[in-house]
DNA sequence: AATTAGATTATAATGATTATTATTTAAGTA
DNA sequence: TACTTAAATAATAATCATTATAATCTAATT
């Protein structure tokens, strides 16, 4: 998403455009690493040394509300954020928590077949497959 | 799972069989409501008035470890526990958090097609579809 | 009955997230 | 351009699910 497009989107949703907000949005929207709030905060500190983590949370929540990112819960009690809101599979190591995306047209097709059977109107989805990654398997978990 | 079968399973995995443990296991393993740890704790208090919530957590974790239940993370920071470990869809209200299961042979079939493409060895999965349930839609979210 | 490794209880500690409040600022208006 | 104000930010306190700790207690073996 272009910077100008982002600014327009924020304004049309009634949110003010601040430097902190722009940088948080740009970072998370282009991120491939499913970062935690703290990871985003650490990144922002480089450019905004006095930024508050509350600002990071507030921005992540608003992006979630307007549908630009998905909040991924986890069993260790830390949320991660994913800018990819289309149906795709997150391959997650049950040991180290590392996430890899599997994005394929065939997944979207098969998934839409499943959804059709459900007779509901989805507003999002999380498809998570748990594995033990090569690194963790080597180390014996 | 029968009581005797459960006892055997616990013993063969090297765990001691205590009254608290049996009751926690029996409750969660037959539960359809994806309870939280606190929900399990409240239920156990009826029969074991001095039970500690630490015991509940310990037992839920051991059941998860031996593969009898799945821990479901959530974005509100509370885990729920599901004794249904086969591939099925959890239909979750994004507003009130209520979970409904959708369990169909066709889901398992389509899912296994997806897994085949992944070329990984899954040790579990969570398929979550987010909706707004009828009750929450009525109340205007 | 004695032994002991593991379980339980009670409670303290942890840590991610949320709430609060004073201050600052974006953005509309005169 | 200066004024206004509703919203955003920063700093910090509060919350609360979960985990850690330590002192009993007990299941299961000898």
Closest residue by Cα to the C1' atom of nucleotide C18?
A: A54
Q: Which nucleotide is nearest to A17 (CA to C1')?
A: C26
Neighbours of A100 (CB within 10 A): 16
Confidence at B136, pLDDT banded by 50, 70, 90: confident
Task: Kindly list the structural domains of chain B, giving each domain's residue range(s) and its CATH number in brackets, ordered by start.
Answer: 3-72 (1.10.10.10), 86-138 (3.30.1490.190)
Q: Which residue do the tokens 């579990």 mark?
A: B124
Please write the tens of the pLDDT for every residue from A71-130.
999 888 899 999 999 999 999 988 777 899 999 998 899 889 889 988 899 999 999 999
* Per-residue pLDDT reduced to its tens digit, B51-68: 999 999 999 999 999 999
Spatial CA neighbour of B92 closest among B84, B101, B79, B105: B101
Q: Please tell me the distance from the alpha carbon of residue A93 to that of residue B124, in angstroms, as a whole number.
A: 10
CB contact B116 to A (< 8 Å): no
CA separation for the pair A91, A72 (Å, rounded): 13
CB proximity list for A24: less than 8 A, separation 6 or greater: A40, A44, A55, A56, A59, A60
Distance CA A6, CA A62 (A): 13
Which nt has its C1' nearest the CA of B77?
D17
Ordered DSSP codes for A20-39? HHHHHHHHHHT-SS--BHHH
């Amino acid at each position: 998403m272009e910077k100008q497009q982002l600014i327009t989107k924020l304004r049309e949703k009634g949110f003010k455009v601040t430097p902190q907000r722009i940088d948080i949005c740009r970072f998370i929207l282009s991120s491939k690493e499913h970062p935690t709030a703290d990871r985003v905060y650490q990144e922002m500190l480089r450019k905004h040394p006095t930024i508050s983590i509350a600002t990071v949370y507030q921005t992540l929540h608003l992006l979630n509300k307007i549908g630009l990112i998905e909040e991924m819960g986890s069993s260790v009690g830390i949320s991660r954020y994913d800018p990819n809101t289309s149906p795709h599979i997150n391959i997650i190591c049950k040991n180290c928590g590392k996430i890899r995306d599997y994005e394929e047209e065939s997944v979207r097709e098969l998934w839409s077949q499943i959804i059709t059977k459900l007779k509901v109107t989805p507003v999002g989805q999380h498809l998570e497959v748990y594995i033990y990654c090569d690194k963790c398997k080597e180390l014996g978990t």
